[in-house]
Structure 1
Amino acid sequence: MKKHFLLIICLIYCLVIVANSAYAQRPSNLYEVKPDDTLSKIAQKYHTSIADLKLYNGLQANTVTEGQKLLVPITYTVRSGDTLKHLSSTFQLSSEAIKKANRLSSDQLQKGQQLRIVPKKLSMHGQHIVMTREQFKTWLENNTFNRKITLIQHHHTWLPSYKDFTGNNHFAMLEGMENFHRKNMNWKTIAQNLTTFPDGTIAVSRPFNIAPEGSIGNKANDAGLMIENIGNFDIGHDVMTKEQKDTIVYMTALLCLKFGLTPSIDSITYHHWWNLKTGERVLDNAKSFDVKTCPGTGFFGGNTTTSAKKYFYPLIQKKMNEISSTFE
Structure 2
Amino acid sequence: MKNIFILFFLYLVSINFNVVQAEASDSTNLYSVQAGDTLVKIAKKFNTTVKELKIANGLQTNSLFVGQKLWVPIIYQVKAGDTLDNIASAYHSTVELIKAANNLSTNILYEGQKLKIPPKKMLIKGNHILMTKEEFKEWLSHHKFKRKIRLIQQHHTWTPSYKHFNGTNHFALLKGMENFHVKEKGWKMIAQNITTFPDGKIAVSRPFDIPPEGSIGWKANHAGIMIENIGNFDKGFDVMTKEQKETIVYITALLCLKFGLTPSIDTITYHHWWDLRTGERVLDNGKSFAVKTCPGTAFFGGNTTKSATKYFYPLVKDQIKKIMNEQ
TM-score range, shorter chain: 0.7 to 0.9
Cα distance between partner residues in 2 of 1:247 and 1:29:
28
Q: What is the RMSD computed on CA atoms of the aligned residues?
A: 2.1
Which amino acid in the other structure matches residue 175 of structure 2? E
Aligned 1:1-328 pairs, distance under 5 A: 25=25, 27-80=27-80, 82=82, 84=84, 86-94=86-94, 97-98=97-98, 101-102=101-102, 103=104, 105-106=106-107, 110-327=110-327
Instruction: Give 1:96 shift.
Output: 5.6
Instruction: Give 1:180 shift.
Output: 0.9
Cα distance between partner residues in 2 of 1:101 and 1:40:
21
Instruction: Give 1:197 shift.
Output: 0.8
Cα distance between partner residues in 1 of 2:133 and 2:234:
25
Cα distance between partner residues in 2 of 1:282 and 1:82:
61
Instruction: Give 1:80 shift.
Output: 4.9
Cα distance between partner residues in 2 of 1:244 and 1:124:
21
Instruction: Give 1:319 shift.
Output: 1.2
Mark the CA change 1:184 to 1:167 in structure 2 (over 3 Å): closer, same or farther: same
| Alignment-derived partner of residue 13 in structure 1 | none
| Alignment-derived partner of residue 17 in structure 2 | none
User: Structure 1 stretch 81-90 or stretch 156-165: which is displaced more?
Assistant: 81-90
Mark the CA change 1:86 to 1:319 in structure 2 (over 3 Å): closer, same or farther: farther
Cα distance between partner residues in 2 of 1:41 and 1:100:
25
Instruction: Give 1:238 shift.
Output: 0.6
TM-score, scaled relative to structure 1: 0.87
Instruction: Give 1:273 shift.
Output: 0.8
Which amino acid in the other structure matches residue 184 of structure 1? E
Identity of aligned residues (%): 65
Cα distance between partner residues in 2 of 1:259 and 1:207:
15
For structure 1, which runs of at least 5 residues remain unmatched after alignment? 1-20
Instruction: Give 1:287 shift.
Output: 1.9
Which amino acid in the other structure matches residue 105 of structure 1? T
Aligned residues: 306
Cα distance between partner residues in 2 of 1:81 and 1:313:
48
Instruction: Give 1:150 shift.
Output: 0.7
Larger Cα Rg: Structure 1 or Structure 2? 1
Cα distance between partner residues in 2 of 1:79 and 1:234:
57
Instruction: Give 1:84 shift.
Output: 5.0
Cα distance between partner residues in 2 of 1:220 and 1:294:
14
Instruction: Give 1:246 shift.
Output: 1.1
SS at match of 1:76: strand
Cα distance between partner residues in 2 of 1:41 and 1:151:
35
Cα distance between partner residues in 2 of 1:104 and 1:66:
40
Cα distance between partner residues in 2 of 1:179 and 1:314:
36
Instruction: Give 1:111 shift.
Output: 3.8
| Alignment-derived partner of residue 4 in structure 1 | none
Which amino acid in the other structure matches residue 92 of structure 1? H
Instruction: Give 1:131 shift.
Output: 1.1
Instruction: Give 1:89 shift.
Output: 3.9
User: Structure 1 stretch 221-230 or stretch 274-283: which is displaced more?
Assistant: 274-283
Instruction: Give 1:140 shift.
Output: 0.6
SS at match of 1:37: coil
Cα distance between partner residues in 1 of 2:243 and 2:46:
37
Cα distance between partner residues in 1 of 2:105 and 2:26:
21
Instruction: Give 1:83 shift.
Output: 5.2
TM-score, scaled relative to structure 2: 0.87
Cα distance between partner residues in 1 of 2:50 and 2:94:
24
Alignment check: 8 A CA contact 2:94 2:120 kept: no
Deviation per residue, 1:132-191 (Å, 9 max, x gap): 112111111111100000100000000111111122211111111111111211111111
Cα distance between partner residues in 2 of 1:25 and 1:51:
26
Instruction: Give 1:87 shift.
Output: 3.4
Cα distance between partner residues in 2 of 1:321 and 1:104:
46
Cα distance between partner residues in 1 of 2:97 and 2:304:
46
| Alignment-derived partner of residue 10 in structure 1 | none
Cα distance between partner residues in 2 of 1:118 and 1:66:
23
SS at match of 1:206: coil
Instruction: Give 1:66 shift.
Output: 2.1
Cα distance between partner residues in 2 of 1:256 and 1:110:
46
Which amino acid in the other structure matches residue 52 of structure 2? D
Deviation per residue, 1:182-239 (Å, 9 max, x gap): 1211111111001011111111111100111111111100110001000000011111
